Structure 1
Amino acid sequence: MEIKRRKFQGVLNILSFNRHFYVIGLIVLATTLAGLMFFKVPDFWIWIVVATFLYGLIMPLVVSAYVYDFSGYYDFKWLKKLDLTDQKPRQIVNINAGFDETSFILKNNFPEATLKVFDFYNAKQHTEPAIVRARKVSMVYPDTLQIKSDEIPLDDQSADLIFLLSAAHEIRSHKEKVAFLKECHRICKPNGEVITVEHLRDFPNFLAFTIGVTHFFSRKAWEKAFKEAGFSSFEESKFTPFMSIFTCRP
């Protein structure tokens, strides 16, 4: 099945799933402006406040359009640079947090491989409003299984490639994240790889998302989690200044 994305689908998803932030932001801006005008603050400071709020509201959409609509993220150009398509894996696993835009594309990139898709979303533990809304419009790959984050129903050392694409950060607890990655380590073949793509809590993403950057984790936090899960290697490559690809091997 070929998936054709609409123009600006990535940024429209971000705007739709996180609309509560924009509603709150506009309400706070209107309230702040009313207060500044009531106290007759100089126009210079009013323009600074307006510019600051608009930056915080618009810049995430600009960066999201760049990353998800114009950089080739969903064309998987970054995947070709990793030379994974030449390995001819037999078993591929794709694990999401309830919003899946990649499984059909992965299957097109690896047509001869068996693809298993798992969803670790737990309504009690993963409470972000954005992911709740995303689940309502997500396409579901055939035979996708709902799982616990610490229990992947596959045999030991059975997967050649495991993909965690903009999903693992939804596991907010470090302890739960390590338990999840231990399961990934268990099912990964000795010569297999876990491919994780994530925004980081770093300066470029701070410029892009301002306080929203706290939704992501630092490189150090990811490296610590993978090492505690038992992985022997942890390599990072950049896909745009705002996205990191972690390649980890057992």
Structure 2
Amino acid sequence: MELKRRKFQGVLNILSFNRHFYVIGLMVLAFTLAALLFFKVPNFWIWIVAAAFLYGLIMPLVISAYVYDFSGYYDFKWLKKLHLNDQKPKQIVNINAGFDETSFILKSNFPEATLKVFDFYNAKQHTELAIVRARKVSMVYPDTLQIKSDEIPLEDQSVDIIFLLSAAHEIRTHKEKVAFLRECHRICKPNGNIITVEHLRDFPNFFAFTIGFTHFFSKKVWEKAFQEAGFSSFEESKFTPFMSIFTSRP
């Protein structure tokens, strides 16, 4: 399987999966400008409104290009800094929400380990149009298994590392999040790790995505969910100002 990503693949994915937002945004902008011109609003305010709309449409693409295409996210150099290979893991798990860009790369980083891939996407619960579109073009790792978020078909304490890479935020309710993380806790070995990578609902991501940052959750929400799920540790490191890496142990 070819692991090399196409140029600007990350930002083009964002634009493709969320194109409805951009169509609606441009329509609202056009209607708003027409209304302002009709009511003869001073040009200063027209420029302010146009700039605000364009900022909200363009800045998410700029930041997405930075994070997903130029920062080395898919080179996984950030993963090497965690020294997980030093533990010589035998069993690793990657769990996604219907869009998988990482399993083949993970396997190349842990060639001696057995990798199992699970997809917790549920059409009735996870209804965002972007996910539906993403699933149509997602690579599927061999033997990927569809699961319920609260039921992972593995034995207790059988996994060395669990990866949740830009996926867990698709679980929208706190109750479901905790139930999902409890399952992760159950299958994780006592000395194992769960690696979660997420944008946060914080100022840098508000700067990047404006109101779109509400799609993510704050560090406080994640920490509370991990604690309620039984994890004994919760450590954060930053990968760019816009993404956090949470490392937790049972």
TM-score calculated relative to the size of structure 1: 0.99
Secondary structure in structure 2 of the residue aligned to 1:162? strand
| Corresponding residue number in structure 2 for 1:22 | 22
The answer on whether the counterparts of 1:150 and 1:180 sit within 8 Å (CA) in structure 2 is yes
| Corresponding residue number in structure 2 for 1:139 | 139
Name the aligned partner's letter for residue 201 of structure 1: R
Shift, 1:243, TM fit: 0.1
Shift, 1:87, TM fit: 2.1
Give, in whole Å, the separation in 2 of the partners of 1:88 and 1:123.
36
Show the 5 A alignment for 1:106-117.
106-117=106-117
Q: Note if 1:91 corresponds to 2:91.
A: yes
Secondary structure in structure 2 of the residue aligned to 1:233? coil
Give, in whole Å, the separation in 1 of the partners of 2:84 and 2:130.
31
Once the two structures are overlaid, the 10-residue window that deviates more, 19-28 or 82-91, is 82-91
| Corresponding residue number in structure 2 for 1:148 | 148
Shift, 1:84, TM fit: 1.3
| Corresponding residue number in structure 1 for 2:59 | 59
Shift, 1:122, TM fit: 0.1
Secondary structure in structure 1 of the residue aligned to 2:248? strand
Shift, 1:14, TM fit: 0.3
| Corresponding residue number in structure 2 for 1:199 | 199
Q: Note if 1:35 corresponds to 2:35.
A: yes
Q: Alignment identity in percent?
A: 89
Name the aligned partner's letter for residue 243 of structure 2: M
Shift, 1:88, TM fit: 1.5
Aligned length: 250
| Corresponding residue number in structure 1 for 2:10 | 10
The answer on whether the counterparts of 1:79 and 1:85 sit within 8 Å (CA) in structure 2 is no
The answer on whether the counterparts of 1:200 and 1:213 sit within 8 Å (CA) in structure 2 is yes
Shift, 1:4, TM fit: 1.3
Name the aligned partner's letter for residue 163 of structure 1: F
Give, in whole Å, the separation in 1 of the partners of 2:133 and 2:228.
32
| Corresponding residue number in structure 2 for 1:161 | 161
Give, in whole Å, the separation in 1 of the partners of 2:32 and 2:2.
47
| Corresponding residue number in structure 2 for 1:102 | 102
| Corresponding residue number in structure 1 for 2:69 | 69
Give, in whole Å, the separation in 2 of the partners of 1:228 and 1:53.
40
Give, in whole Å, the separation in 1 of the partners of 2:81 and 2:22.
36
| Corresponding residue number in structure 1 for 2:125 | 125
Shift, 1:78, TM fit: 0.6
Shift, 1:83, TM fit: 1.0
Name the aligned partner's letter for residue 99 of structure 2: F
Shift, 1:85, TM fit: 2.4
Give, in whole Å, the separation in 1 of the partners of 2:83 and 2:48.
47
- In structure 1, the gaps of 5 or more residues are none
Secondary structure in structure 1 of the residue aligned to 2:223? helix
The answer on whether the counterparts of 1:2 and 1:108 sit within 8 Å (CA) in structure 2 is no
| Corresponding residue number in structure 2 for 1:236 | 236
Give, in whole Å, the separation in 1 of the partners of 2:46 and 2:240.
34
- In structure 2, the gaps of 5 or more residues are none
Give, in whole Å, the separation in 2 of the partners of 1:191 and 1:55.
45
Q: How far does the alpha carbon of each residue in 1:90-134 deviate from its partner, in whole angstroms, 9 at most, with x for none?
A: 000000000000000000000010000000000000001101100
Give, in whole Å, the separation in 2 of the partners of 1:81 and 1:123.
36
Name the aligned partner's letter for residue 202 of structure 1: D
Give, in whole Å, the separation in 2 of the partners of 1:135 and 1:17.
10
| Corresponding residue number in structure 1 for 2:173 | 173
